[in-house]
């Protein structure tokens, strides 16, 4: 009888552990091959120099290029700093933003966001520390923070969790 109780307790404990979100961030040291990104202009059908606006200059961007591949089916914008390092990449499909990634100088992502057809953040989002650990994660729906968002310290420990309504209102 005790063996059955212990087995049931073990199964319940395992099921509970699987269903819970972790209290530490995953280490996602995932650098991007920015050397590959710098080769994209050589593979493009068309490359158009673009001038950064004021908001993007705050990131340290000094110049940009629009890279068109497949007769306009896919466009990428690469934004560079004064040393020629890629700081930001925006990917478009038929003129609509579908992905945007910003980079630390070491090639690690600062954030990863996906976008809907209206150009608003939509889907799972992650923001990273420069070593690749997750700083914050959650979900956007039509540009609005929705559901559970978690923030982590630089050691990967959970700092806080907030829940947002579908209208972006923070629940207490």
Domain boundary among 107, 135, 157: 107
pLDDT average, residue stretch 136-153: 95
Question: What is the extent of the structural domain holding 141?
Answer: 118-172
Tell me the pLDDT tens digit for each residue of 54-67: 877 877 889 999 99
Looking at the domain assignment, is residue 127 inside a domain?
yes
Domain boundary among 76, 107, 138: 107
Residues 138 and 129: beta-carbon distance below 8 Å = no
Confidence at residue 104, expressed as pLDDT on a 0 to 100 scale: 85
pLDDT average, residue stretch 86-105: 83
Looking at the domain assignment, is residue 136 inside a domain?
yes
**CATH number assigned to the domain comprising residue 136:** 2.20.110.10
Looking at the domain assignment, is residue 24 inside a domain?
no
Mean pLDDT, the chain, rounded, equals 79
What percent of the chain shows pLDDT beyond 90? 31
Residues 88 and 100: beta-carbon distance below 8 Å = yes
Looking at the domain assignment, is residue 55 inside a domain?
yes
pLDDT average, residue stretch 82-86: 88
Task: Give the residues across from 88 on adjacent strands.
Answer: 79, 102
Q: 63 CB contacts (<8 Å, ≥6 apart)?
A: 49, 50, 51, 52, 79, 80
Residues 75 and 122 in one domain: no
pLDDT for residue 22 is more than 70: no
Looking at the domain assignment, is residue 78 inside a domain?
yes
Looking at the domain assignment, is residue 155 inside a domain?
yes
Residues 124 and 155 in one domain: yes
Which band of pLDDT confidence, cut at 50, 70 and 90, is reported for residue 24?
low
Prediction pTM value? 0.67
- Top mean pLDDT of 16-25, 85-94, 106-115, 122-131 is at 122-131
Number of structural domains found in the chain: 2
Domain boundary among 53, 86, 107: 107
């Amino acid at each position: 009888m005790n063996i059955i109780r212990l087995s049931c307790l073990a199964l319940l404990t395992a099921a509970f552990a699987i269903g819970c979100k972790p209290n530490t961030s995953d280490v996602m040291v995932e650098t991007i091959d920015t050397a590959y990104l710098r080769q994209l202009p050589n593979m493009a059908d068309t490359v158009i120099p673009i001038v950064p606006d004021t908001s993007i200059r705050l990131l340290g961007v000094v110049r940009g290029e629009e890279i068109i591949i497949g007769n306009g089916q896919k466009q990428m914008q690469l934004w560079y700093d004064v040393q020629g390092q890629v700081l930001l990449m925006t990917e478009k499909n038929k003129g609509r933003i579908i992905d945007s990634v910003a980079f630390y100088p070491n090639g690690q992502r600062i954030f990863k966001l996906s976008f809907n057809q209206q150009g608003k953040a939509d889907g799972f989002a992650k923001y990273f520390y420069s070593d690749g650990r997750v700083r914050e994660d959650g979900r956007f729906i039509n540009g609005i923070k929705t559901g559970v968002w978690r923030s982590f310290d630089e050691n990967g420990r959970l700092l806080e969790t907030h829940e947002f309504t579908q209208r972006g209102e923070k629940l207490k």
